[in-house]
């Protein structure tokens, strides 16, 4: 685990890519939950 952290510290490009992927995954998660809530609200209403 420390090895990965050191690699990220020493490689800005890799760190940027990792951050992008994490943000992208979080964005997908947020979108999915919003869609789920919309469907749920639509069924209730």
Mean predicted lDDT score pLDDT of the chain: 91
- The average pLDDT across 5-10 equals 82
- pLDDT tens-digit readout, 13-28: 998 999 999 999 999 9
The total of other beta-carbon atoms located within 10 Å of residue 15's CB is 13
pLDDT value for 1: 62
Contact between 18 and 8 under an 8 Å Cβ cutoff? The reply is yes
- The average pLDDT across 23-45 equals 95
Tokens of 7: 């690699």
* pLDDT tops 90 at residue 38: yes
11 three-state secondary structure: coil
Residue located via tokens 């209403």: 45
- Whether pTM exceeds 0.85: no
DSSP 45: -
3-state helix, strand and coil shares in percent for the chain, rounded to the nearest 5: 95, 0, 5
* pLDDT tops 70 at residue 34: yes
């Amino acid at each position: 685990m420390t090895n990965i952290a050191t690699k990220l510290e020493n490689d800005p490009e890799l760190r940027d890519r990792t951050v992008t992927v994490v943000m992208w995954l979080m964005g997908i998660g947020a979108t999915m939950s919003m869609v789920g809530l919309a469907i749920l609200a639509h069924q209730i209403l």
